[in-house]
C-alpha cells in the first residue's frame, strides 16, 4: 500500500465512521407518544381538501386549512378484495393493520377477528374514545370496537361497542340502542341505554345534557340516525364535531396511562355520495376545525401524536371540467356560497309549498329563469313529479356547472388520499404508505400488540 493509498483509506474509514454515527443518530428511537388522536375524514380525497382550502381562502378570506400545516404523505387505500375499498375494510386497515374484504369489520378475509388498536389500548389501561357524526355503529367507528363479518349488523355492533369499556362514545344512532317498543330498531327487545347505564355509563341524549357536566364513561348520542350535515346543523340541538372532540379530550386527558381517541368526519363521505358539493365542503371545514383544536391541544401537551387521513376518496371530485365539450381552465368556489342547505334539507323546503323558483333562489341563489331550457325543464319536471332522485341529478349538474367542478361517481374511487401527522412519532408517517401500515405504526408507537 502506498502512502497516498494508506492516507486515502484512513480518510475513507474516518468518513464511513462519521456517516455511520450520524445514521445511528437518525435511527435512534424517536420520542413515543403518550396519547394518540386518529382523525379519519371519510371519503375525503385530495381534490376535496383543495376545494375546502380554496373556499376558505378565496371566499371566506381565511388563512387556509389547519391540516395543510402538518401534511406528511399519502395513503394507498385498496382492500383485500377490491382496488376500491369501502369504509369497513378501510377502517379495519387503520384499526387492525390488516387487509380485509369490503364490508368486513375487524375480521380478516377468513372471518377471524383481529385485535384493534383501541382494544389493545383498553387492555393496557389507556382511556379510549370514539367521536363521529354518523351513527356510532357505522363502519368507521365499528371497525375499532366490534368484530362482525358484515357492516350491516348494526344491532350486534352496538352490543359489542358498549361492552368494550370505552370511556367516550359520541355520535348519532339511538335507533340501534333501543328496542322497537321504545321506537328503536332492535328486534331482541334489549334497551342498550339501560344496560349501559347499569354498567356505569352516563347517558347523554341532548344538547342540554351535553353542555351540563360530563363524566366518563359517557355514551352521548344526539340523533336517531346520523347527526346533521354541518351545513344543516342546528347548534341548539347538536354539538359540532370540534365541540364533541374537545369534551372527549377533557374526559380522557388525565388518564395516567394515556389515551387513544378516534375522531371521524363521517358525513364528508355521505355528501360526496350524493354529489352534494356544498354539504361536502362544510363537513370538511368542520373536520378541519376539529383538527385545528386538536393541534392546539397537542402543541400545549407535547406528548400527543395526531394522525389524520381518509379511508378512501368518494365521488371522484374534479375542480375544472368540460362545459359543453370544452375543457375549462377555471373553477369557481364562490358558486357554492349562496347554498344554505344539503340536498336533503333543500328537498324538504322545496316540497313544503313555497314554489320551485322562489325557494330555489332563496336557498341556492340559482335563478330558474336564467337557466338554459333543457336544464330548467329537467328541474321543473322532476319537481312536479316529486322525484327527488331525478331532481338532484339535474340540480347537482346546475351547481357543478356554476362552480365548474365535476363528479365522476356516486361511489368511492381508488386514488391515494392525504396523510397528516404531528407530534411524537410524526417522522414515521412521512412518505406514501399502505393503509395497513397506519394501524401498525400507531400500535408500534404506543407499544401495543395487535
Ligand atoms: Mg365512516
Ligand atoms: Zn362511502
The CA-based angle 264-267-271, given to 5 degrees, is 150
Proximal ligand: closest to the CA of 410: 2
Question: Which of 41, 48, 79, 87 is labelled catalytic?
Answer: 87
Closest to 282 in 3D by CA, of 237, 242, 236: 242
The CA-based angle 406-268-107, given to 5 degrees, is 115
**What is the SS3 assignment for 220-240?**
EECCCCCCCCCCCCCCCCCCC
pLDDT digits (tens, 9 = 90+) for 68-78: 999 999 999 99
Proximal ligand: closest to the CA of 91: 1
pLDDT digits (tens, 9 = 90+) for 214-240: 999 999 999 999 999 999 999 999 999
Determine the distance separating the centroid of ligand 2 and the alpha carbon of 138, expressed in angstroms.
11
Quote the pLDDT of residue 370: 97
Query: What phi and psi, each to the nearest 5 degrees, are found at residue 305?
Result: -90, 130
Determine the distance separating the centroid of ligand 1 and the alpha carbon of 183, expressed in angstroms.
25
Residue 87 is among the residues annotated as catalytic for this protein: yes
Determine the distance separating the centroid of ligand 1 and the alpha carbon of 218, expressed in angstroms.
21
Determine the distance separating the centroid of ligand 1 and the alpha carbon of 90, expressed in angstroms.
9
Helix or strand run (H / E) with residue 308 = strand 304-309
**Alpha-carbon span 108 to 98, nearest angstrom:** 7
Q: Average model confidence (pLDDT) for the chain?
A: 94
Question: Before 217, cis peptide (omega within 30)?
Answer: yes
Quote the pLDDT of residue 354: 84
Q: Which residues contact 387 (CB under 8 A, 6 or more apart)?
A: none
Determine the distance separating the centroid of ligand 1 and the alpha carbon of 377, expressed in angstroms.
36
Quote the pLDDT of residue 23: 42
Tell me the pairing of strands 326-327 and 417-422.
Answer: unpaired
Helix or strand run (H / E) with residue 391 = helix 388-403
Do 395 and 379 meet the contact criterion of CB atoms below 8 Å apart? Answer: yes
**Burial, 135: exposed, middle or buried (Cβ in 10 Å; 0-12, 13-18, 19+)?**
buried
- Residues facing 157 on adjacent strands: none
Quote the pLDDT of residue 101: 98
CATH 1.10.60.40 in the chain, residue ranges: 319-406
This prediction's pTM:
0.93
Quote the pLDDT of residue 171: 99
Q: Classify domain 319-406 at the CATH topology level.
A: Diphtheria Toxin Repressor; domain 2 (1.10.60)
CATH 3.40.720.10 in the chain, residue ranges: 35-316+410-446
pLDDT digits (tens, 9 = 90+) for 95-146: 999 999 999 999 999 999 999 999 999 999 999 999 999 999 999 999 999 9
- Residues facing 174 on adjacent strands: none
**Alpha-carbon span 137 to 264, nearest angstrom:** 12
Proximal ligand: closest to the CA of 314: 2
pLDDT grade for 352, boundaries at 50, 70 and 90: very high
Proximal ligand: closest to the CA of 272: 2
Residue 5: all three cell numbers together = 493509498
Answer yes or no: is pLDDT of 398 > 90.
yes
Determine the distance separating the centroid of ligand 2 and the alpha carbon of 139, expressed in angstroms.
10
Answer yes or no: is pLDDT of 46 > 60.
yes
pLDDT grade for 380, boundaries at 50, 70 and 90: very high
Determine the distance separating the centroid of ligand 1 and the alpha carbon of 279, expressed in angstroms.
16
Query: Is residue 377 classed as helix, strand or coil in its secondary structure?
Result: helix
- Residues facing 38 on adjacent strands: 262, 307
Q: What Å distances lie between residue 333 and 85, 232, 330, 336, 339, CA to CA?
A: 29, 19, 10, 6, 11
The residue-averaged pLDDT of 341-345 equals 98
Determine the distance separating the centroid of ligand 1 and the alpha carbon of 175, expressed in angstroms.
18
Tell me the pairing of strands 405-406 and 304-309.
Answer: unpaired
Proximal ligand: closest to the CA of 88: 1
Q: Classify domain 35-316+410-446 at the CATH topology level.
A: Alkaline Phosphatase, subunit A (3.40.720)
Query: Is residue 130 classed as helix, strand or coil in its secondary structure?
Result: strand
The residue-averaged pLDDT of 426-449 equals 98
Quote the pLDDT of residue 30: 55
**Alpha-carbon span 192 to 174, nearest angstrom:** 9
**Alpha-carbon span 22 to 129, nearest angstrom:** 40
Proximal ligand: closest to the CA of 92: 1
Q: Mind giving me the DSSP string for 182-235?
A: GTS-BSS---HHHHHHHTTPEEE-SHHHHHS---SSEEEE-SSSSPPPTTT--T
Q: Which residues contact 33 (CB under 8 A, 6 or more apart)?
A: 258, 303, 304, 305, 423, 424, 425, 445, 446
Do 205 and 212 meet the contact criterion of CB atoms below 8 Å apart? Answer: no
Quote the pLDDT of residue 11: 45
The residue-averaged pLDDT of 373-390 equals 98
Residue 199: all three cell numbers together = 354498567
Determine the distance separating the centroid of ligand 2 and the alpha carbon of 86, expressed in angstroms.
6
pLDDT digits (tens, 9 = 90+) for 6-34: 444 444 444 444 444 444 444 445 589 99
What dihedral do alpha carbons 332, 335, 341, 343 form, nearest 10°? -70
What is the distance, to the nearest Å, from the Cα of residue 388 to the centroid of all Cα atoms in its chain? 27
Determine the distance separating the centroid of ligand 2 and the alpha carbon of 18, expressed in angstroms.
51
**Alpha-carbon span 190 to 203, nearest angstrom:** 16
Amino acid at each position: 500500500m502506498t502512502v497516498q493509498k494508506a492516507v486515502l483509506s484512513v480518510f475513507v474509514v474516518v468518513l464511513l465512521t462519521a456517516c455511520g454515527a450520524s445514521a445511528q443518530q437518525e435511527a435512534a428511537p424517536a420520542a413515543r407518544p403518550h396519547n394518540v388522536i386518529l382523525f379519519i375524514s371519510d371519503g375525503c380525497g385530495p381534490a376535496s381538501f383543495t376545494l375546502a382550502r380554496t373556499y376558505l381562502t378565496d371566499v371566506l378570506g381565511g388563512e387556509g386549512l389547519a391540516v395543510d400545516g402538518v401534511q406528511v404523505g399519502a395513503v394507498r387505500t385498496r382492500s383485500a378484495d377490491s382496488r376500491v375499498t369501502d369504509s369497513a375494510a378501510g377502517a379495519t386497515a387503520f384499526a387492525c393493520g390488516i387487509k380485509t374484504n369490503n364490508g368486513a369489520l375487524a375480521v380478516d378475509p377468513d372471518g377471524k377477528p383481529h385485535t384493534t388498536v383501541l382494544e389493545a389500548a383498553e387492555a393496557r389501561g389507556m382511556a379510549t374514545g370514539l367521536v363521529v357524526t354518523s351513527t356510532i355503529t357505522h363502519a368507521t367507528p365499528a371497525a375499532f370496537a366490534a368484530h362482525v363479518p358484515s357492516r350491516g349488523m348494526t344491532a350486534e355492533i352496538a352490543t359489542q361497542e358498549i361492552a368494550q369499556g370505552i370511556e367516550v362514545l359520541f355520535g348519532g344512532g339511538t335507533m340501534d340502542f333501543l328496542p322497537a317498543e321504545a321506537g328503536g330498531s332492535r328486534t331482541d327487545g334489549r334497551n342498550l341505554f339501560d344496560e349501559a347505564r347499569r354498567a356505569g355509563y352516563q347517558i347523554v341524549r341532548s344538547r342540554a345534557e351535553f353542555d351540563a357536566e360530563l363524566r366518563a364513561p359517557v355514551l352521548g348520542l344526539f340523533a336517531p340516525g346520523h347527526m346533521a350535515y354541518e351545513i344543516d346543523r342546528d347548534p341548539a340541538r347538536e354539538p359540532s364535531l370540534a365541540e364533541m372532540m374537545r369534551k372527549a379530550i377533557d374526559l380522557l386527558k388525565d388518564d395516567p396511562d394515556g389515551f387513544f381517541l378516534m375522531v371521524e368526519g363521517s358525513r364528508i363521505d355521505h355528501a360526496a355520495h350524493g354529489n352534494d358539493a356544498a354539504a361536502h365542503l362544510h363537513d370538511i371545514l368542520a373536520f378541519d376545525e376539529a383538527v385545528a383544536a386538536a393541534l392546539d391541544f397537542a402543541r400545549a401537551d407535547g406528548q400527543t401524536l395526531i394522525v389524520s387521513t381518509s379511508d378512501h376518496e368518494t365521488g371522484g371530485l374534479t375542480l375544472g371540467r368540460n362545459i359543453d365539450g370544452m375543457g375549462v381552465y377555471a373553477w369557481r368556489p364562490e358558486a357554492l356560497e349562496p347554498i344554505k342547505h344539503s340536498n336533503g334539507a333543500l328537498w324538504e323546503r322545496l316540497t313544503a309549498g313555497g314554489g320551485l323558483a322562489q325557494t330555489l333562489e332563496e336557498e341556492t341563489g340559482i335563478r330558474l329563469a336564467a337557466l338554459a331550457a333543457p336544464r330548467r325543464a329537467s328541474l321543473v319536471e322532476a319537481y312536479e313529479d316529486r322525484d327527488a332522485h331525478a331532481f338532484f341529478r339535474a340540480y347537482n349538474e346546475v351547481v357543478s356547472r356554476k362552480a365548474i367542478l365535476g363528479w365522476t361517481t356516486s361511489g368511492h374511487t381508488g386514488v391515494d388520499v392525504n396523510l397528516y401527522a404531528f407530534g411524537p412519532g410524526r417522522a414515521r408517517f412521512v412518505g406514501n404508505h399502505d393503509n395497513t401500515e397506519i394501524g401498525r405504526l400507531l400500535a408500534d408507537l404506543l407499544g401495543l400488540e395487535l
